[in-house]
Amino acid sequence: MDKMASGWINGFVGVLIFSGSLPATRAAISGFDPIFLTGARATIAAFLGLALLLAFREKRPDKADLISLVVTALGVVVGFPLLTALALRHVTSAHSIVFIGLLPLATAIFAVWRGGERVRPLFWLFSCLGSLLVVGFALTQNVSASLVGDLLMFTAIVVCGLGYAEGAKLSRRLGGWQVICWALVISLPVMLPLTLYVMPGEWQGISGPAWFGLFYVSLFSMLIGFIFWYRGLAQGGIAAVGQLQLLQPFFGLVLAATLLGEHVGWPMILATVGVIACVVGAKRFAR
């Protein structure tokens, strides 16, 4: 199998895993505080990542890589998990999934800025159209109930795109699973004390779905998904393979409807399809 095909396959598996992140987060915050959830998922994944690094006797990153690892950690270990958990207090996971349609655009923008990739001018036209469509959809909703959630989700997309591009750039040298493991380990001295400080006083009343949500985001969203995702981006190109995220809203909407029983109306579906159409157009001119 050639490197490009392997990149697309790894990227697809990563997107499939990430599709469950927002519904799982929504389930987890039914029993856990968003700050605790952010710290706990990073701490659990960090110990698993540290075990992998020690088991395979991986060489420590060079000093020149530390800044990029910190940026990656701030984007995907701290920023996106915390902001989405806070957002999901105000909006449903189905509503937030529409914003995930912007992730390919954000990832590609940072791929150009941080990864040195080049895209054609028409790419930016489709990027702007997709952004306007999402903003327009958000404004048609109950602003007083969802504006805070929409702003949090938009910010989460920006920091996540940066973390994806920065981590993928590092993966070309360090390897996909090594990058996320080192980013988690770097975060551990902060996330572990935070987790212990805000941990629940009682555990008896926490529901099964909340525990499952914590398990999913800790193991799959925070570690396993990134092993496939960073490898795919490094192999097939950040801007190109990053467009696979256009599938994530579809998978996520199905999960939100089937697992959480959330209503997925036609306006939300049309908005998601419209965003995906814009991303498809952007993909065509990504190189």
pLDDT digits (tens, 9 = 90+) for 172-188: 899 989 999 999 999 99
The alpha carbon of 107 is separated from its chain's Cα centroid by a whole number of angstroms, namely 10
pLDDT of residue 142: 57
Residue 171 has which token pair? Answer: 């993966």
Q: Give 212-236 pLDDT, tens digit per residue.
A: 999 999 999 999 999 999 999 998 8
For the chain, helix, strand, coil in percent to 5 are 80, 0, 20
240: exposed, middle or buried (Cβ count in 10 Å: 0-12, 13-18, 19+): buried
> Which residues in 246-261 are b (16+ Cβ under 10 Å) and which e?
bbbbbbbbebbeebbe
Q: How far apart are the first and last CA of the chain?
A: 22
Q: Answer yes or no: pTM beyond 0.75.
A: yes
**Per-residue pLDDT tens digits for 12-26:** 999 999 989 988 998
The reported pLDDT for the residue numbered 141 is 61
pLDDT band at 102 (very low <50, low <70, confident <90, very high): confident
Measured CA to CA, the distance from residue 285 to residue 122 in angstroms comes to 6
